Amino acid sequence: MKCFNCGCDLTELEYCTNCGADVKHYKKIIYTSNRLYNEGLERASVRDLSGAVRALKECIRFNKNHIDARNLLGLVYYETGEGVEALSEWVISQNMRPEKNVANEYINALKNDQGRLENIKTSIKKFNKALDLCWQDSSDMAIIQLKKVISMNPNYVKARQLLTLLYIQKEEWEKAAREAERTLKIDCGDLKSLRYKKEIEAVLKQAADNKRGRRKKKEEVTAVYKTSGNETIIQPVGVGDSLGINVFVEIAIGIIIGVCVSYFIVLPARISSVRDEANAKASEYGAQLDEKNAEITDLEARITELQADIQAQKEMIDGYSGSNGTAEINDYLMAAAYAYLDTGQDNMTVDEYLEKIPDDYLDDGASTEFLDLYSYLRGGIGSSVAERFYEKGIESYNSRDYEAAIECLTRAYEYNPDSDDALYYLGLAYYDNGDVNSAAAKFNELLEKFPDSLEAEKASQHLEEIGD
Amino acid sequence: MIIFEEELKKFHKSLEMGDAESDIYEKQDEGDVVEVLLNLAQNSDSAVAGEGDVYNE
């Protein structure tokens, strides 16, 4: 024991040897508190839980820092179904001593068992509701609620006691006796339960006595004594009277009652039970059906996904195999590259191969590497091919083959967009070919791009002629 | 003899989870006999000290 003043260990003396504080009363308080804790522990060990609660509460009133008492009190509360009270005590204990405290284990165990925690919460709520129902004179509803509470939290002493009280009120003594007995199995020292049990036993005893008394009386009147002259005739009661029609009437009444009971009570209950089972099965099948439908939907989605995947793979394979001409186009580019590298071949050959590559492929499907090589080859042959096309174009123009001239000069201008001559002759070829609109377009382009060139002046004259 | 209404009055609602926090604070704030003793001891010490002051004057 430590001194309350300086915290030093106390001896058997009535004062602190370190600070001199008077510890006589302090020691008495601590001893009393410890004695009460021991009493609580003993009571708890023989399942006198309410006695244990009283002793432990008293112990804490003397010394609120008694950790063991708090932990044990929490445990006892927990055992009687009062989960929240138990948690409160353990949390306070934990606050007082955060480490090396068994309360930590209790709290963690409860936290980890979410199902149990949820049951405790719900059962407490339902119990409180049942208590309200009792005050509202809804005993039957309260009994239903309490039965649920007990099924969730079987050691909930308060709920069992209230149920016992309700059975007493409804004079269902057998049920009340059973419930009181169960309550006492949880907490054998609970005065309320003991009182209920005593009351119930008294009523049951009286009822048994009354029954026994009636039977005795009945047994006593089992014979009728008659005198006929000097003779006394002993005739058993009922013999000869009841063995007649009465027996059959009673049997008939019994059968009728039996039929009625089965028709009005047993049969509806059985029907209801069968219907419930059928409903349960139906909902089970419904759930299974929903599950299967969901699976089917998933699988369908998966199939669609896989089909899309297959299509993509197919397209990729087609791309590699050249079903849309990709391989062929690549061959043209390779052939163009080979012709470019081979000095024995003309640059016009390179152009022929490059010309075979479709424009839409260059715009959309070609890879960066493809385009790089394509541009490189075009750049490489550009000037010489432009010159060749220009010469051929002029030649065709001079020989009045305007169609061929337009084709060659177009290519020449494509390869060399800085050539004002090519553009001028192209316009002229269109003009002489009778396509004045295209001619005007080319002349205008010439005026715009090369306004200071010699051809610009000629183009202007032609435009005037065209009337543009 | 058990009278239902009278017995019912002896039943109190259980603490629900929502009430736990306030219950913990309430219980922690409760005093105990040790505290009473310590207060008494402090008061008697200060009273003695006070008397001493008066005496010294």
pLDDT digits (tens, 9 = 90+) for A124-139: 999 999 999 999 988 8
Q: Which pLDDT band holds residue B54 (cuts at 50, 70, 90)? A: very low
Question: Would you say residue B45 lies in a domain?
Answer: yes
Question: Would you say residue B8 lies in a domain?
Answer: no
- Residue-wise pLDDT tens digits, A144-185: 999 999 999 999 999 999 999 999 999 999 999 999 999 999
How far is A49 from A42, CA to CA, in rounded Å? 10
Residues whose CB is less than 8 angstroms from the CB of residue A429 and which lie 6 or more positions away in sequence, other chains included: A393, A397, A402, A405, A406, A409
Decide if A82 and B17 are in contact by the 8 Å CB cutoff.
Answer: no
Q: Which pLDDT band holds residue A259 (cuts at 50, 70, 90)? A: confident
Which tokens is A224 given? 């009728």
Q: Which pLDDT band holds residue A223 (cuts at 50, 70, 90)? A: low
| Residue matched to tokens 């008397």 | B51
Range of the domain at B44: 17-56
- For position A103, what pLDDT does the model report? 94
- Residue-wise pLDDT tens digits, A414-457: 888 888 888 999 999 998 888 888 999 998 998 888 888 888 88
How far is A52 from A190, CA to CA, in rounded Å? 10
Please enumerate residues of B whose Cβ is less than 8 A from a Cβ of A. 1-2, 4, 7-8, 10-11, 13-17, 19-20, 23-24, 27-28, 30-35, 37-38, 41
Question: Would you say residue B25 lies in a domain?
Answer: yes
How far is A78 from A157, CA to CA, in rounded Å? 11
Percentage of chain A exceeding pLDDT 70: 92
- Higher model confidence: residue A439 or residue A382? A439
- For position A186, what pLDDT does the model report? 94
How far is A370 from A245, CA to CA, in rounded Å? 118
Which tokens is A92 given? 């306070």
Which tokens is A72 given? 């044990």
How far is A392 from A71, CA to CA, in rounded Å? 110
Decide if A88 and B27 are in contact by the 8 Å CB cutoff.
Answer: yes
Report, as an integer, the average pLDDT of A209-217: 84
Angle (CA) A78-A83-A85 rounded to 5° is: 90
Question: Would you say residue B7 lies in a domain?
Answer: no
- Residue-wise pLDDT tens digits, A334-377: 888 888 888 777 788 888 888 888 888 888 777 888 888 888 88
- For position A226, what pLDDT does the model report? 62
Question: Would you say residue B2 lies in a domain?
Answer: no
Decide if B37 and A25 are in contact by the 8 Å CB cutoff.
Answer: yes
How far does the CA of residue A144 sit from the closest CA of chain B (Å)?
17
- For position A174, what pLDDT does the model report? 92
Identify which of A32, A99, A87 has the alpha carbon closest to the alpha carbon of residue A63. Answer: A32
Task: Report chain B's mean pLDDT, rounded to a whole number.
Answer: 79
Question: Would you say residue B49 lies in a domain?
Answer: yes
pLDDT at A122 over 80: yes
DSSP lists the bridge partners of residue A227 as A232
- Higher model confidence: residue A307 or residue A219? A307
Decide if B34 and A169 are in contact by the 8 Å CB cutoff.
Answer: no
Which of A15, A88, A165 to mutate: most B Cβ within 10 Å? Answer: A88
What is the CATH class of A119-212? mainly alpha
What is the CATH class of A353-466? mainly alpha
Q: Does A162 touch chain B (CB under 8 A)?
A: yes
pLDDT at A5 over 90: no
Percentage of chain A exceeding pLDDT 90: 40
- For position A323, what pLDDT does the model report? 53
- For position A296, what pLDDT does the model report? 92
Decide if B17 and A124 are in contact by the 8 Å CB cutoff.
Answer: yes
- Residue-wise pLDDT tens digits, A65-80: 999 999 999 999 999 9
- Residue-wise pLDDT tens digits, A229-258: 667 666 665 555 555 677 888 888 888 888
In the 3-class helix/strand/coil scheme, how is chain A assigned residue by residue? Answer: CECCCCCCECCCCCECCCCCCECHHHHHHHHHHHHHHHHHHHHHHCCCHHHHHHHHHHHHHHCCCCHHHHHHHHHHHHHCCCHHHHHHHHHHHHHHCCCCCHHHHHHHHHHHCHHHHHHHHHHHHHHHHHHHHHHCCCHHHHHHHHHHHHHHCCCCHHHHHHHHHHHHHCCCHHHHHHHHHHHHHHCCCCHHHHHHHHHHHHHHHHHHHHHHHHHHHHHHCCEEEEEECCEEEEEECCCCCCCCHHHHHHHHHHHHHHHHHHHHHHHHHHHHHHHHHHHHHHHHHHHHHHHHHHHHHHHHHHHHHHHHHHHHHHHHHHHHHCCCCHHHHHHHHHHHHHHHHCCCCCHHHHHHHHHHCCHHHHHHHCCHHHHHHHHHHHHHHHHHHHHHHHHHHHHHHHCCCHHHHHHHHHHHHHHCCCCHHHHHHHHHHHHHHCCHHHHHHHHHHHHHHCCCCHHHHHHHHHHHHHCC
DSSP lists the bridge partners of residue A234 as A225
- For position B46, what pLDDT does the model report? 67
- For position B38, what pLDDT does the model report? 83
Which of A32, A84, A96, A190 to mutate: most B Cβ within 10 Å? Answer: A84
- For position B57, what pLDDT does the model report? 38
CATH of domain A24-112: 1.25.40.10
Q: Which residues of chain A neighbour B32 with C-beta distances below 8 Å?
A: 60-65
- For position A429, what pLDDT does the model report? 92
Q: Does A439 touch chain B (CB under 8 A)?
A: no
Query: What does pTM read for this prediction?
Result: 0.51
How far does the CA of residue A105 sit from the closest CA of chain B (Å)?
18
Helices (H) and strands (E) counted in chain B, each on its own, are: 3, 0
- For position B8, what pLDDT does the model report? 92
Question: Would you say residue B10 lies in a domain?
Answer: no
Residues carrying CATH 1.25.40.10, chain A: 24-112, 119-212, 353-466
- Residue ranges of A 225-284 with Cβ closer than 8 A to chain B: none
pLDDT at A18 over 60: yes
CA quadruple A178, A183, A188, A189: dihedral sign:
negative
Number of domains in chain B: 1
DSSP lists the bridge partners of residue A9 as A2
